[in-house]
Structure 1
Amino acid sequence: MGRTIKKARKAKAKKTKKKAEASSSSDPAIASGPAKVWQPGVDALEDGEELQFDPQAYNYLQGFGIGWSCLSFDVVRDQLGLVRSEFPHMVYGVAGTQAEKPQWNYIGVFKLSNISGKKREPIPPSAVDGDNDADSDSSSDEEDEEISEDKKLNVHLKKVAHAGGVNRIRSMTQQPHICATWGDTGHVQVWDLSPFLNSLAESGAPAPDEGDIIHRHTPAKVFSGHKNEGYAIDWSPLVAGRLVSGDCNNCIHLWEPSSNNWNVDSNPFVGHTASVEDLQWSPTEADLFASCSVDGTIAIWDIRKGKKPCISVKAHKADVNVISWNRLASCMIASGCDDGSFSVRDLRLIEEDPVVAHFEYHKKAITSIEWSPHEASSLAVTSEDHQLTIWDLSLERDAEEEAEFRAKMKEQPNAPENLPPQLLFVHQGQRDLKELHWHPQIPSMIISTAIDGFNVLMPSNIDTTIPGSTDIAMASAEP
């Protein structure tokens, strides 16, 4: 069942420029000392200690649930504006459940409204001013409390019955009301969810019993040609209705739209020697797509040139779980591995050494990776180590800038020296994170799903990036 992020009191540690540092100690003698960044997987919590997120690290943070846990969801593009930066925000999405019994599963079509946050200065004035420090902190506490308590997230949900659990769900870019689901029954289904999305758009507050109703709805297409269940599925961003689906039996099928349905090629693309875990269409070439597999490889396919991959690269030493093709820099593709590492490759160098970045920060399997739709060098990652991290590959450590920054601050930041300079933000508080998506129309907004529900977060440092600094945000999830 979903759990929400409960408002936590402000951490005793001081905020610094581009630093949201959290103290893990409840001992006043320790808490009154220098601020310390708590490192997951490195530092331990003593009995009675708990981490609390610093509200200054976020422009917005809230949790919600749709009933059962969800492995996968997608943001549904809307007509409220191509690029939206002013609060309040409204968000539409679809998610697929993993219920206790197969017959209890559904697609959750949801609308989130009254997302009301606050734009913050990257450096609180009290951090560099010598006076009125106590007054400033007190005022900030009251302001944060007011934001959290008075601005409630409204969740309006429609449930659509689904046979079996949903391994993955994706909304079509060109026609967002059309969604595809990969079911654990081995079937791939396409749904027209426009009646439910239209109902959400036209309605105000949900009826008291609305969340208990599971609507029966016939899918527009059901494909049962896969020999096993799967997780890999992607809509083409260039050809409306074109789809690929990959299964745990190493096969990939191409779907082509017809006048009122889809024609699925029964002759699969075959080249991997183990389960196909993820698929991504090229953002610039209509006939190219990429795949990744448990066999450790990434493959590039051209649907005009037969059923074998054009290129196959040994990408990781373990299962490659997820990939993301950069839509703003189409030569870059990112991949996440079962050993906790993730890499970025330049496809222009594919015949040589295409790895341009490799990180081994996470302690457990990477479950999701996605490039930002608004910043070509930024990407976000989720892992089974309960962390969501945001990275900017354009950043490098600059000793001179760091020295200038430290000289301005009243309190010296006590950040670990071994953190990668490209690491912008660490979000915690969700258990066993499964998938994330950047909102394509609201810069800096990320939505993530985990075993214990969803989070909507907008880090305060994403709009204004200061080279050479790292944001660490700690969040505590409570029932």
Structure 2
Amino acid sequence: MVRSLKNIQRIKRKNRGSKKGGGGDSSSSSSVPSAPTKVWQPGVDKLEEGEELQFDPSAYNYLRGFSIGWPCLSFDIVQDSLGLVRTEFPHTVYGIAGTQAEQAAWNHIGIFKLSNISGKKREVLTTTKNNESDMEDSDSSSDEDDEEAGDESVLPILQLHKVAHQGCINRIRSMTQRPHICATWADTGHVQVWDFSSFLNALAESETDTSRGGNSIHNQAPIMKFGGHKDEGYAIDWSPVVPGRLVSGDCKNCIHLWEPSSETWTVDKNPFVGHTASVEDLQWSPTEADVFASCSVDGTISIWDTRLGRKPAVSVKAHNTDVNVISWNRLASCMIASGSDDGTFSIRDLRLIKGDSLVAHFEYHKHAITSIEWSPHEASTLAVSSADNQLTIWDLSLERDEEEEAEFKAKMKEQADAPQDLPPQLLFVHQGQKDLKELHWHQQIPGMLVSTAADGFNVLMPANVETTIPGAGSS
């Protein structure tokens, strides 16, 4: 378990990323200008004195950092009413974030709006009724294509409201059906539910100026507070099928079910127990109202059915070390991904969960996996963050093409000393954040990711992450 951000100094570092198949991170020495360009390999290479990492702006359609003050261990993107699928710049993002302050009383929940996000026009694939794909928003001659990701002349606008929160926030989640309702897991051992409608409405109605909502911290009581867990925890998830249904898991291996009741919740005091160690993450099934999954320090993933009692319906040994995070694929509900403390992550087919369910296993990352999430727009794509300071994007539909690979290696050999053994499914590598903790895809903006680390947030849109969206098409 690699989680806490407390007492970590923030280090100013340049954002840098690489687009597999085009450009990459490079290091160059100021004392030896003629030194050949070299692709940086995290966990393998070390910077020499006078060297610095540089990012390739062509790898991004957008890249920008921002901060809400204290480091943030967990955040969530809040669904808005600006459109279900948005592909045109400028973009606006709403979110909630919890702090990890030096003192318990200094913590707050940040409700933020990031607007005026202007980047490069990107290609979006639109499916027709015949499932054929057409290119949209493609204009290779556009002046925007010549701009760097996040042109300094076009700055985003951050507006922020702060609500006091006792204790550090281990995890925070917004309800899909009612996004203004949010749940927090505190290191004090309490799970709380909040109504942030007034703050989100104020942000929606505000003019896009440089106002941040001031530095004042509002005092607002939660609409529900549960202290029945015997320890703090990190696992919490809202049901995407039943509005208001919630599960929360703690470090004492107990999981509690929350059922909505009028304007409050009824929490079952009889916990679900099956793991032998801390419950690290929880995910509701995207299709089944009574089914959820959990993962644990005991190395297992369990599937639970609330109709079948308080024991797991099935458990599988998933990793040799702590299973830190899981993600249930909402576009292909038979697939679940898990990330481990040893840096590995795996994909399993739940239809084969009682047998050999392993579909894929990757050992690319050098340190613990801290977050994993399937793309909401591409069933075969997922993003992973690790304590090795990398955010990676993977496309499981990609296979090794020896001819294409030979051409790529020949091209890269002319430009830089490139690694030879990258997995073919590795689509993108983003670096530059210190101690990455959590990432989320934006559900309404295809190709956009937000990540949090010890030194703040990044908003990124990789240039080579293609997205297919449903279109009217013609028969």
Bucket of the pairwise TM-score, normalised by the shorter protein: 0.7 to 0.9
- In structure 2, the gaps of 5 or more residues are 1-8, 125-142, 469-475
Contact 1:119 1:460 in 2 (8 A): no
Q: Report the Cα offset of residue 259 of structure 1.
A: 1.5
Task: Report which stretch shifted further, 226-235 or 16-25.
Answer: 16-25
1:101 aligns with 2:103: yes
Q: Distance in 2 between matches of 1:407 and 1:367?
A: 35
- In structure 1, the gaps of 5 or more residues are 123-138, 466-479
Residue in structure 1 matched with residue 75 of structure 2 by the alignment: 73
Of the candidates 112, 115, 120, which is equivalent to residue 114 of structure 2? 112
Q: Distance in 1 between matches of 2:212 and 2:412?
A: 53
Residue in structure 2 matched with residue 427 of structure 1 by the alignment: 430
Contact 2:381 2:395 in 1 (8 A): yes
Which residue identity does 1:62 align to in structure 2?
R
CA deviation profile, 1:349-404 (whole Å, cap 9, x unmatched): 11221111111111111100000000001100111111111111111110123345
2:229 partner SS: coil
CA 1:296/1:157 → structure 2, altered by over 3 Å: closer, same or farther?
same
**Any runs of at least 4 consecutive aligned residues in structure 1 with deviations exceeding 6 A, and if so which?**
1-5, 139-142, 406-410
Contact 2:436 2:452 in 1 (8 A): yes
Q: Distance in 2 between matches of 1:333 and 1:208?
A: 41
Task: Report which stretch shifted further, 204-213 or 433-442.
Answer: 204-213
Residue in structure 2 matched with residue 454 of structure 1 by the alignment: 457
Q: Report the Cα offset of residue 442 of structure 1.
A: 0.4
Q: Distance in 1 between matches of 2:145 and 2:15?
A: 12
CA 1:143/1:285 → structure 2, altered by over 3 Å: closer, same or farther?
closer
Q: In proportion to residue count, which structure has more strand? A: 2
The CA RMSD measured in Å over matched residues stands at 2.6
Residue in structure 1 matched with residue 363 of structure 2 by the alignment: 360
1:191 aligns with 2:207: no
Q: Distance in 1 between matches of 2:251 and 2:414?
A: 53
CA deviation profile, 1:426-457 (whole Å, cap 9, x unmatched): 11111000000000000110000001100000
Q: Report the Cα offset of residue 24 of structure 1.
A: 1.1
1:51 partner SS: strand
Which residue identity does 2:91 align to in structure 1?
H
Q: Distance in 2 between matches of 1:5 and 1:120?
A: 27
Residue in structure 2 matched with residue 314 of structure 1 by the alignment: 317
CA 1:148/1:188 → structure 2, altered by over 3 Å: closer, same or farther?
same
2:28 partner SS: coil
Q: Distance in 2 between matches of 1:50 and 1:458?
A: 23
The 5 Å alignment of 1:384-423 reads 384-403=387-406, 411=414, 414-423=417-426
CA 1:47/1:282 → structure 2, altered by over 3 Å: closer, same or farther?
same
Q: Distance in 2 between matches of 1:45 and 1:410?
A: 21
Residue in structure 2 matched with residue 328 of structure 1 by the alignment: 331
CA 1:16/1:441 → structure 2, altered by over 3 Å: closer, same or farther?
closer
Residue in structure 2 matched with residue 293 of structure 1 by the alignment: 296
2:93 partner SS: strand
Contact 1:16 1:413 in 2 (8 A): no
1:264 aligns with 2:244: no
CA 1:240/1:464 → structure 2, altered by over 3 Å: closer, same or farther?
closer
Q: Distance in 1 between matches of 2:272 and 2:230?
A: 13
Task: Report which stretch shifted further, 113-122 or 193-202.
Answer: 113-122
CA deviation profile, 1:191-229 (whole Å, cap 9, x unmatched): 000000000011125676733110011111001110100
Q: Distance in 2 between matches of 1:37 and 1:380?
A: 21
Contact 1:2 1:68 in 2 (8 A): no
1:302 aligns with 2:305: yes
Aligned residues: 442
Q: Report the Cα offset of residue 416 of structure 1.
A: 1.6
Q: Report the Cα offset of residue 323 of structure 1.
A: 0.3
Which residue identity does 2:93 align to in structure 1?
V
* TM-score, normalised by the number of residues in structure 1: 0.87
Task: Report which stretch shifted further, 344-353 or 199-208.
Answer: 199-208
CA deviation profile, 1:79-121 (whole Å, cap 9, x unmatched): 1011111100000000001111111111000000010000368
1:212 partner SS: coil
Contact 1:16 1:409 in 2 (8 A): no
Identity among equivalent pairs (%)? 72
Contact 1:7 1:148 in 2 (8 A): no
The 5 Å alignment of 1:25-424 reads 25-26=28-29, 33=36, 35-119=37-121, 143-144=147-148, 148-205=151-208, 210-403=213-406, 411=414, 414-424=417-427
CA 1:308/1:7 → structure 2, altered by over 3 Å: closer, same or farther?
closer
Contact 1:2 1:66 in 2 (8 A): no
Which residue identity does 1:52 align to in structure 2?
Q
CA deviation profile, 1:242-301 (whole Å, cap 9, x unmatched): 000000011000000011211100000000000000000000111100000001000000
Q: Report the Cα offset of residue 23 of structure 1.
A: 2.4
Which residue identity does 1:150 align to in structure 2?
S
1:304 partner SS: helix
Residue in structure 1 matched with residue 138 of structure 2 by the alignment: none
CA deviation profile, 1:100-147 (whole Å, cap 9, x unmatched): 11111110000000100003689xxxxxxxxxxxxxxxx9998439x5
Contact 1:276 1:291 in 2 (8 A): yes
Contact 1:59 1:119 in 2 (8 A): yes
Q: Distance in 2 between matches of 1:7 and 1:335?
A: 27
Q: Distance in 2 between matches of 1:379 and 1:52?
A: 25
* TM-score, normalised by the number of residues in structure 2: 0.88
Q: Distance in 1 between matches of 2:307 and 2:197?
A: 33
Which residue identity does 2:53 align to in structure 1?
L
Which residue identity does 2:370 align to in structure 1?
T
1:201 partner SS: helix
Q: Report the Cα offset of residue 36 of structure 1.
A: 3.5
2:52 partner SS: coil
CA 1:98/1:427 → structure 2, altered by over 3 Å: closer, same or farther?
same
CA deviation profile, 1:15-65 (whole Å, cap 9, x unmatched): 9993122321225877574x5321111122111101011111100000000
Residue in structure 2 matched with residue 468 of structure 1 by the alignment: none
2:51 partner SS: coil
Which residue identity does 2:228 align to in structure 1?
G
